[in-house]
């Protein structure tokens, strides 16, 4: 399909073209309240074409199996008539690095195998007075990209996500505690055991409810609980935000902005991660991008369009859907300079950071992350799951509490990093101790 699209585009689009074809097959299994709720499979395939004609860029996409390449090109050219002017240059052929993205155990996993994993988790998490939900989603995909300059690439990929959640309802106290495993290969027995252990440890600490502390306090954020602190920084490090004039980091390349222990990179070449890939959706070869090194801002992420507007080079971060134009997006975010272990993390909540906290919080989940003016750095969120830390140990779960602060300010005063580094989705982080977080009772 994309070869036909590009051959036609070479004749009719004077500024070149690029195209993507992707086929995705998904299988999902869901257990609710300990019983099988849904199990099924779906498949989707489609092509996306981008053309540059008379200095303007147009897009067209289709998921129709009988779509005419000529019709797709005609629609893309019509889109270009109304598109923005852009000096977009399609990259020439370049070597593509190897990276393991396809794992046969996931590709060959049957529905029965996935249900067996789910039932095993149900049995291990079952406890009196609690309800257990388990969801497993498996995906195999094939991606092909090419452009009129002769660059091309193709790869197959797999992904699997396993999530488990335990619900406990006691009067007006509704407690939900869960954790996930995400990767490109089937979870090992050790990874599933770590998932069960993580949920059980959080639940045990949550059974006792204590009053929340108040004031500017030390707060330990677990890897899942760090979203409110990570989102502003990753948004500000996008070249699109820089071009829009909304990034607080836009003019600070080369400056010491964060604590010297704060380093951040994006690595699409991590074996076994679902977001890894040998090249992006615009034929740009993948490479590891250092964004912040020892607190110093290094660079931003770009796709071809934002790079052209910023008069720089793409960093290989082009992401595109079947019907949309490419946009810059991250692959595997890594906090710190590690993250090449098993990714299961340590067994201790807080990664060893609690022992020096006399009175503070351990935050595992917040409510409302991602809402409002995230890129500005200011946040104020009620806690969904948090624990009070007294004299170096967890004393119980807190309710009706909220935390607030500014991510950029807090990342300047890191109290320490835990020994529990792990993958939370496509982000690798340890627990982090931050000083002076505002904690209030609600």
pLDDT band, residue 347 (cuts 50/70/90): low
3-class SS of residue 405: strand
User: pLDDT digit string (tens) for 128-163?
Assistant: 999 999 999 999 999 999 999 999 999 999 999 999
Across the range 211-226, mean pLDDT stands at 96
Chain mean pLDDT for the chain: 94
Q: Which residue has the tokens 């692959």?
A: 331
Across the range 190-217, mean pLDDT stands at 95
**Which of 400, 403, 365 is CA-nearest to residue 386?**
365
Name residue 189's beta-bridge partners.
Answer: none
User: Do 252 and 396 belong together in one domain?
Assistant: yes
Q: Which residue has the tokens 């909220």?
A: 402
pLDDT band, residue 254 (cuts 50/70/90): very high
Q: Which residue has the tokens 């396809």?
A: 102
Res 340: pLDDT: 47
pLDDT band, residue 338 (cuts 50/70/90): low
Residue 279 has pLDDT above 80, yes or no: yes
The last residue of a domain, from among 206, 225, 253? 206
As given in the structure block, the two tokens for residue 304 are: 């071809």
Res 442: pLDDT: 80
pLDDT band, residue 171 (cuts 50/70/90): confident
Q: Which residue has the tokens 């595992």?
A: 364
Name residue 335's beta-bridge partners.
Answer: 264
Q: How far apart are CA 182 and CA 402, in angstroms?
A: 29
User: Do 198 and 232 belong together in one domain?
Assistant: no
CA distances to 15, 35, 51, 75, 87 from 302, in Å: 21, 45, 19, 27, 15
User: pLDDT digit string (tens) for 370-422?
Assistant: 887 899 999 999 999 999 999 999 999 999 999 999 999 999 999 999 999 99
Q: What is the CA radius of gyration of the chain?
A: 24
Residue 242 has pLDDT above 70, yes or no: yes
User: Do 228 and 193 belong together in one domain?
Assistant: no
**Which of 299, 77, 272 is CA-nearest to residue 191?**
272
| Structural contact between residues 237 and 291, judged by C-beta atoms closer than 8 angstroms | yes
Cβ-based burial of 123 (10 A; exposed 0-12, middle 13-18, buried ≥19): exposed
Across the range 2-18, mean pLDDT stands at 94
Res 339: pLDDT: 52
CATH number, position 80: 3.30.2290.10
User: pLDDT digit string (tens) for 32-45?
Assistant: 998 999 999 999 99
Which residue did the predictor score with more confidence, 170 or 366?
366
User: Do 285 and 160 belong together in one domain?
Assistant: no
| Structural contact between residues 432 and 258, judged by C-beta atoms closer than 8 angstroms | no
User: Do 239 and 123 belong together in one domain?
Assistant: no
The last residue of a domain, from among 185, 206, 227? 206
Res 232: pLDDT: 97
- Cβ neighbours of 377 (radius 10 Å): 21
Domain around 153: 2-206
User: Do 177 and 228 belong together in one domain?
Assistant: no
Percentage of residues in the chain with pLDDT exceeding 90?
A: 92
pLDDT band, residue 201 (cuts 50/70/90): very high
pLDDT band, residue 337 (cuts 50/70/90): low
As given in the structure block, the two tokens for residue 316 are: 């290989």
Q: Order of strands across the sheet with 333-335?
A: 296-297, 289-293, 264-266, 333-335, 427-429, 422-424
Residue 224 has pLDDT above 50, yes or no: yes
In total, how many domains does the chain have? 2
As given in the structure block, the two tokens for residue 119 are: 């039932």
User: Do 243 and 338 belong together in one domain?
Assistant: yes
Query: Strand 333-335 vs strand 427-429: parallel, antiparallel, or unpaired?
Result: parallel
CA 142 to chain CA centroid, Å, is 20
Residue 358 has pLDDT above 70, yes or no: yes
pLDDT band, residue 336 (cuts 50/70/90): confident
Residue 343 has pLDDT above 80, yes or no: no
3-class SS of residue 147: strand
Across the range 202-216, mean pLDDT stands at 95
3-class SS of residue 224: helix
User: Do 335 and 397 belong together in one domain?
Assistant: yes
Q: How far apart are CA 352 and CA 423, in angstroms?
A: 18
The DSSP result for 6-70, as a single string, is HHHHHHH-TT-EEEEEEEEEEEEEEEETTEEEEEEEEEEEEEEEEEEETTEEEEEEE--TT--HH
User: Do 434 and 286 belong together in one domain?
Assistant: yes
As given in the structure block, the two tokens for residue 150 are: 């002769």
Q: How far apart are CA 355 and CA 433, in angstroms?
A: 11
Res 342: pLDDT: 43
Question: ∠ at Cα 28 (22, 29), nearest 5°?
Answer: 175
User: Do 374 and 359 belong together in one domain?
Assistant: yes
User: Do 241 and 179 belong together in one domain?
Assistant: no
Residue 248 has pLDDT above 50, yes or no: yes
Residue 226 has pLDDT above 90, yes or no: yes
User: Do 323 and 401 belong together in one domain?
Assistant: yes
As given in the structure block, the two tokens for residue 234 are: 């990753």
**Which of 67, 96, 91, 80 is CA-nearest to residue 4?**
67
The last residue of a domain, from among 206, 228, 249? 206
pTM, entire model: 0.92
| Structural contact between residues 363 and 397, judged by C-beta atoms closer than 8 angstroms | no
| Structural contact between residues 387 and 142, judged by C-beta atoms closer than 8 angstroms | no
Q: Could you tell me what percentage of the chain is helix, strand and coil, using 3-state DSSP and rounding each to the nearest 5?
A: 20, 40, 40
| Structural contact between residues 196 and 215, judged by C-beta atoms closer than 8 angstroms | no
Give backbone dihedrals phi and psi of 307, rounded to 5 degrees, phi first: -65, -40
User: pLDDT digit string (tens) for 287-317?
Assistant: 999 999 999 999 999 999 999 999 999 999 9
């Amino acid at each position: 399909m994309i070869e036909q699209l590009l051959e036609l585009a070479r004749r009719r689009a004077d500024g070149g073209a690029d195209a993507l074809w992707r086929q995705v097959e998904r299988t999902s299994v869901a257990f609710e309240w300990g019983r099988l709720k849904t199990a099924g499979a779906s498949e989707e395939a489609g092509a996306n074409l981008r053309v540059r004609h008379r200095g303007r860029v147009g897009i067209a996409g289709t998921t129709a199996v009988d779509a005419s390449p000529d019709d797709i090109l005609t629609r893309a050219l019509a889109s270009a008539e109304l598109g923005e002017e852009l000096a977009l240059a399609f990259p020439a052929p370049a070597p593509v690095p190897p990276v393991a993205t396809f794992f046969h155990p996931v590709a060959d996993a049957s529905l029965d195998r996935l249900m067996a994993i789910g039932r095993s988790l149900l049995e291990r998490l079952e406890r009196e007075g609690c309800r257990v939900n388990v969801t497993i989603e498996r995906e195999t995909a094939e991606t092909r990209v090419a452009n009129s300059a002769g660059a091309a690439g193709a790869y197959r990929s797999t992904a699997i996500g396993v999530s488990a959640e335990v619900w406990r309802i006691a009067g007006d106290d509704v407690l939900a505690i869960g954790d996930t495993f995400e990767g490109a290969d089937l979870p090992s027995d050790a990874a599933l055991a770590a998932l069960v252990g993580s949920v059980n440890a959080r639940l045990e600490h949550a059974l006792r409810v204590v009053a929340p502390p108040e004031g500017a306090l030390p707060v330990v954020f677990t890897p899942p609980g760090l979203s409110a602190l990570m989102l502003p920084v990753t948004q500000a490090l996008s070249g699109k935000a820089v071009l829009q004039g909304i990034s607080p980091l836009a003019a600070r390349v080369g400056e010491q902005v964060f604590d010297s222990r704060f380093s951040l990179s994006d690595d699409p070449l991590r074996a076994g991660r679902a977001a890894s890939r040998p090249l992006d959706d615009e034929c740009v070869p993948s490479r590891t991008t250092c964004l912040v090194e020892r607190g110093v801002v290094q660079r931003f992420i770009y796709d071809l369009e934002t790079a052209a507007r910023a008069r720089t080079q793409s960093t290989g971060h082009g992401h595109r859907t079947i019907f949309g134009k490419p946009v810059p997006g991250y692959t595997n975010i890594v906090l710190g300079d590690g993250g090449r272990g098993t990714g299961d993390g340590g067994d201790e909540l807080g990664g060893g950071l609690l022992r020096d906290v006399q009175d503070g919080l351990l935050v595992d989940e917040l409510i409302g992350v991602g809402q409002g003016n995230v890129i500005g750095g200011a946040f104020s969120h009620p806690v969904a799951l948090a624990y009070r830390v007294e004299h170096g140990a967890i004393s119980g779960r807190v309710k009706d509490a909220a935390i607030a602060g500014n991510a950029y300010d807090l990342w300047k005063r890191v109290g320490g990093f835990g020994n529990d580094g792990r993958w939370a989705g496509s982000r690798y982080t340890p627990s982090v101790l931050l000083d002076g977080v505002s904690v209030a009772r609600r």
